[in-house]
C-alpha cells in the first residue's frame, strides 16, 4: 500500500501531536519489567561460535585475564567463562551492553553475534565462522598449558 502524505501534513500533525504519548493495545500480555531485571528476549538456537572468540581476542588484546575483564567491564566471571567456552550460551542484554561499551563495539552487531537477535545479514554467520577459523591458534602449547593438558588427560584415563 503506497501512500502519498505531504511534508506539510506531516509537519502540521507533528506540531499538533507534540510530546503526547501514542501507545495503544491491550496490557499485561507479556511479563512486565520490575525496573531492575532485564527482560528475556526470545533466543535463537544457533551456536554463536564467533562471539566467544571475539570476546577472547578483545580481552587478550588488552592484556586482561577473565577476572580482569570482569572487573573492568562490571560483568560476572561466570558469565565471561560461559561466553568464551559455551557456543550455545546466550549472554544477557545487560552483559552485551557492558561489553559493547567497554570494547567500544556496536551493540546491535554484538547482539547478532551473541545469538540474541536474528542476523540482518544472512552472510554474517558464515563470515563469523571463517573469522573464527582464521584466528584459531597454531602456536605450540606453553609449559603451563602442556602441564594442564597432561593433568586433564590423566583424569580422563582414570575414568576408564
Binding site for other proteins (CB under 8 A): 1-33, 35-36, 38-39, 41-42, 93, 97, 107-108, 111-112, 116-118, 120
**Considering the complex, what minimum distance in angstroms separates the CB of residue 127 from other proteins?**
17
Q: Min. distance of Cβ 28 from other proteins in angstroms?
A: 6
Neighbours of 47 (CB within 10 A): 14
Give the dihedral of Cα atoms 94, 95, 100, 101; nearest 10 deg: 70
Contacts of residue 20, Cβ cutoff 8 Å, sequence gap at least 6: none
Q: Give the shortest CB-45-to-other proteins separation in angstroms.
A: 14
CB of 129 to other proteins, least distance (A): 20
Cβ-based nearer residue to other proteins, 19 or 158: 19
Q: Give how far Cα 83 sits from Cα of 10, 11, 41, 67, Å.
A: 46, 47, 17, 13
Closest to other proteins by CB, 39 or 151: 39
| CB neighbours of residue 102 within 10 Å | 17
Closest CA to 121 of 130, 133, 113: 113
Shorter beta-carbon distance to other proteins: residue 32 or 63: 32
**Pair 115, 51: CB distance under 8 Å:** yes
Nearer to other proteins, 15 or 136 (CB): 15
Could you say which DSSP state residue 58 is in? H
Q: Which is nearer to other proteins, 55 or 112 (CB)?
A: 112
The least CB distance from residue 43 to other proteins, in Å, is: 11
Amino acid at each position: 500500500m503506497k501512500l502519498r502524505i505531504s511534508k506539510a501534513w506531516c509537519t502540521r500533525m507533528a506540531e499538533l501531536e507534540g510530546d503526547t504519548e501514542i501507545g495503544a493495545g491491550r496490557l499485561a500480555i507479556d511479563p512486565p519489567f520490575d525496573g531492575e531485571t532485564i527482560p528475556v528476549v526470545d533466543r535463537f538456537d544457533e551456536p554463536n561460535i564467533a562471539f566467544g572468540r571475539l570476546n577472547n581476542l578483545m580481552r587478550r588484546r588488552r592484556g586482561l585475564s577473565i577476572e580482569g575483564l570482569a572487573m573492568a567491564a562490571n560483568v560476572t566471571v561466570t558469565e565471561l567463562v560461559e561466553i568464551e567456552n559455551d557456543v550455545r550460551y546466550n549472554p544477557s542484554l545487560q552483559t552485551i551492553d557492558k561489553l559493547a561499551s567497554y570494547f567500544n563495539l556496536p551493540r546491535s552487531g554484538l547482539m547478532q553475534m551473541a545469538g540474541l537477535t536474528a542476523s540482518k545479514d544472512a552472510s554474517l554467520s558464515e563470515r563469523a565462522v571463517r573469522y573464527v577459523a582464521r584466528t584459531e591458534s597454531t602456536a605450540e602449547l606453553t609449559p603451563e598449558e602442556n602441564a594442564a593438558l597432561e593433568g586433564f588427560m590423566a583424569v580422563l584415563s582414570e575414568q576408564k
